[in-house]
Structure 1
Amino acid sequence: MSDVVTPETSEKEELLTESEKKALVGLKRDEAAALRRWWQRLTLTPQELKALTPQPSFPRGVRAVLRRCDSADAAMLTQGFRELWAMLPEATKKTEYQEEQLQVWSCIALISAELRKEEKGVSLAKRLGQQKDSTGKPLMSELRFQQLLSCRTPEEFIQRLRRALALANKQDISVVLLASVIALWWREHRGRLSAKPTQRLGFVLANDYFAATSRYTHRD
């Protein structure tokens, strides 16, 4: 495994935008910062990465192995996941919910590896609600969006997330906001629903999706 360097060490960029900090319902800020640096080391070219951090890229093939995984359990056995787990804050790993955290973060690793290009501050739902070409229709239809909201099993959730990213051409989404949605889904899947409606998965996704669609549609 490569040497672990914390996101605060000799960095050349602010890892999180102010809008992202406010929108991180499912993640803590130090978790999100570690995830973004991991994704950059996993995905960017050595030249692109050098402009951001002295930390090295992960070996070639690490991302490809993650993308071939068909479950969170499979992802948990990969080098890519081990690298991410090592970079996470100790408080995240040493918790009474450690088993759940392993599942959450292996799922995050698996899905984040699909993302080819980031756009900081753009959530998954906002991207899916954007207009497809000049059709007057969103990248993801309302029907498929509702299906994404109603996933009942990790397997179904992973499958629908991958389809959603494919519709978005696997780009122009914030990896930390994507991970926040995944973590929030797992929290609710485990029965821990937030007391605040605005911090529940359905509201977070629907709010961004329909805000995006409202830019080019007019409803009666």
Structure 2
Amino acid sequence: MEQSKPTSFSIRHHSVVRNTLLRWWQSMVLSKDELKKTDIYPAPSGVKARLKRCDSVDSVMMTEGFRLLWMALPEAFTGQAKPQDIECWATIAAALVYISAESETSFARAAGKKGDNDKSAVSEMRFAQLQAAKTPDEFLRRLRRILQQVKGKVSPLALAQDIEQWSQEHDSMRLHKADKRIAVQWAMDYYRAAGH
């Protein structure tokens, strides 16, 4: 069967959505001095910390940090959003606050990259547990652990796209081509990075 088609407001296919997400993330993590060079205002005090303390996707949805992101997205998207869209974006918000600096490195490559001890930053077992997550809460919990292990040095937009794809696959009843599934793409990137 064929992979589900992306919505017109997917991160990958809509530059306004990407820009909105990146600006929101920058408002959360960049210092006031770094933000002075832009036209972005810093997030209110404590917003990032409250997002980090959320223990479920549902609790993320009730935070000011998530509200700031959701309300900044195009109204044409938020007005037609389904519950799974809100859940997906709450997961994105809760994960992105663990990214400390912009990087070109994909999430799976950062996890598979070998360090000084010739071991991957994240063990195969921990990465496999993420791959096997059955619920958004489990997925978010395992994702956050790995982001902490890689010290938050991954591409925020690439990670958001991965989360969006995971969410679409999780919510879809259709089968996906193996090479298009996020679990397969992550495994390939993880092992490529571990091999170097």
Shift of 1:88: 1.3
1:42-84 deviations in Å (ceiling 9; x for gaps): 1111111122x21211111111111111111111111100110
Describe how 1:1-220 pairs up with structure 2 within 5 A. Answer: 28-51=14-37, 53-95=38-80, 97-119=81-103, 121-132=104-115, 134-170=116-152, 172-191=153-172, 195-215=176-196
Q: After the TM superposition, which parts of structure 1 deviate over 4 Å for at least 4 consecutive aligned residues? A: 24-27, 192-196
Distance 1:154 1:77, change over 3 A: same
Shift of 1:89: 2.2
Q: State the distance in 2 between where 1:192 and 1:45 align.
A: 42
Shift of 1:26: 6.0
RMSD: 1.9
Q: TM-score, length-normalised on structure 1?
A: 0.78
Q: TM-score, length-normalised on structure 2?
A: 0.87
Q: Work out the percentage of aligned pairs sharing the same amino acid.
A: 36
Distance 1:181 1:75, change over 3 A: same
Residue-pair matches, total: 187
Q: State the distance in 1 between where 2:143 and 2:179 align.
A: 21
Residue identity matched to 2:34: E
Structure 2: which 5+ residue stretches go unaligned? 1-9
Structure 1: which 5+ residue stretches go unaligned? 1-23, 216-220
Distance 1:207 1:30, change over 3 A: farther
Q: State the distance in 2 between where 1:40 and 1:109 align.
A: 12
Structure with bigger helix share is 2
